Structure 1
């Protein structure tokens, strides 16, 4: 009788797979949220405080976490362990299969699915940021100009970005600022990326309320011309996708404009463009920024959005997105998207 090493381990310690899964999950929570308190970890993980304390002591003894007054954080060794185990654990969770199925349906370069639903979990939003930063790091070579949009999903990325090899990178806003919450504006997020990566950034302010005539004049201003030149040289775009109706409200769009979006059955929004279910552009706001046709020539494009409520918006945008797009989303959005696709 030939027994493999793995079979022998399981015969001796049958609970081993569960223990690995539990400790991996805890370590991932710590990496995404650290420094974080034990009580908060207990609440996020679903384990009792006693179970959490025991697990933290085990992780600490193995040099995977650091416990201090301000909370628990992952060590370099802990982060490396997460990296090594990531693909295997994602395969076991079923998220890799979910991502592959969605990638085939959408006909885009790749899809990565993180656990949870961002509509109901702040942690899931952090996991979206962590996964996007991880994939960016895998493709960072030769990237010189990165354009980023506003929004909470993109704002979750900077804390997890690599700090090495990015000093020569320039981060820019993918388009002029909109009336979003200050911390979620593209200019602020570009600055956040630059600060984390010890890189540089360039802000670009553009009032959303310009008339058509003023917009035509503004495009010839030196600041606008400089940004247009940078957009033509952009190597990477990291962008969110919004719900059309919610974005129109966020921008305080006039009632007649909101009615146009309703009449045209706009579902999703990206870069100031609004899309219907078929991926057709049905409306756009006046701004200076990355154009949809330019995305085809940008080598690295990340779309980042999660939550089941974003499923329809994501499908409408992705129906005409560049085929080399890399989507980072969550289980809530992925499952809802597949469900909607089946009904089409």
Structure 2
């Protein structure tokens, strides 16, 4: 009788499967399901309150798939569905934060960012999903990631200079007022001919409003002759800004494609010809750079000088989209080593491809 009760060798065999491995063996589609629902929850967080049809369009899922996923998120108290649209609950936000590191690790974006930072010889790279050339969601992700890194690192730094451009303009929407009211936001250079909402002065004001902080505008006429430009630098407003630039402790800036920036500024045919002949690829702070990172042209304006950036402890470069890869590389070829780049997958992958090819 005792022999019949003795366990067989199979029954005493030690199992090496972890709980996670066992889950995957039983439900192999689990990682995909988690990523899909995480992605949907993140879209709602970025865009909510948002309608189902809009969510379907942004996510790439059919309306039926979107409806099913939203019902599941609602049942788990992760999303709230109301007349004005879908929004994320507090529990949903906690889930997003808890899963963020794991999802990023699985996506390969962290490895991509690490390799890019090493090749570019800069402090850090953060890569968000997608391509800013085609996705407004990706642009929002860039803004959200920049705001997150800024809030975590600003600490004792008080004077923050910001440039114009659509990428930087996305950041204020994701800022929070906690302990940031003592900051002073300033335009990194005098306003020129960009669209009003994308000018540095307007964006500095947006940052200040979002953080319940202060800002200082600086208007620079972009039609001044060289002689008038020299005189303007001695005006009280210009001298005050030059003093602030020398004390700037943080800079948040974009990087533009040289050709596109020249067109946006209504540059003369002569200036555009100069840029083409000198093989300008990227632009930042009114300076144009070739592939080697050398300054090949600059516009007349009063603002932060490239050499001053070396003394700024906290530098955030924000730019994405595959089409901007070459422009980003041209600026970063000579950028300060303390630069933190925030970009997207499409730009990051294209930059690596270009560096490996070249």
Q: Please, what TM-score do these two structures have when normalized by structure 2?
A: 0.93
1:14-93 equivalence runs, <5 A: 14-93=28-107
- Deviation string for 1:37-94 (max 9, x for gaps)? 1111111112222221222222233332232222222233322322222121111011
Find the counterpart in structure 2 of residue 314 from structure 1.
328
Q: Which residue of 2 aligns with 1:117?
A: 131
Deviations for 1:283-324, whole angstroms, at most 9, x for unmatched residues?
Answer: 111111111111111111011111111011001000000111
Q: 2:27 maps to which residue?
A: 13
> Is 1:294 matched with 2:314?
no
2:18 counterpart of 1:4: yes
Secondary structure of the residue that 2:222 maps to in structure 1?
Answer: coil
Question: What is the aligned partner in structure 2 of residue 136 from structure 1?
Answer: 150
Distance 2:336 2:306 in 1: 9
User: Equivalent residue for 1:235?
Assistant: 249
Among candidates 185, 188, 197, match of residue 183 of structure 1:
197
Distance 2:195 2:90 in 1: 34
- 2:113 is aligned to 99
Aligned length: 344
Mapping of residues 332-343 of structure 1, within 5 Å: 332-343=346-357
Q: Return 5+ residue gaps in structure 1 as ranges.
A: none
Separation of aligned partners in 2, 1:62 and 1:141? 37
Secondary structure of 2:311's partner?
Answer: coil
1:147-190 residue CA offsets vs partner (Å, 9 max, x unmatched): 11101111111111122111111111110111111111111111
What is the aligned partner in structure 2 of residue 149 from structure 1?
163
State whether structure 2 residue 233 is matched by structure 1 residue 219: yes
TM-score w.r.t. length of structure 1 = 0.96
- Stretches of structure 2 that go unaligned for 5 or more consecutive residues are 1-13
Q: Which runs of 4+ in 1 moved over 3 A?
A: 11-14
What displacement does 1:107 show? 0.7
- Cα deviations across residues 110-137 of structure 1 (Å, max 9, x unaligned)? 1111111111111111111111111112
Secondary structure of 1:253's counterpart equals coil
- Say whether residues 1:173 and 2:187 are aligned partners: yes
What does residue range 270-285 of structure 1 map to in structure 2 within 5 Å?
270-285=284-299
Which of 172, 177, 181 is equivalent to 1:158?
Answer: 172
Computing the radius of gyration from Cα coordinates, the structure with the larger value is 2
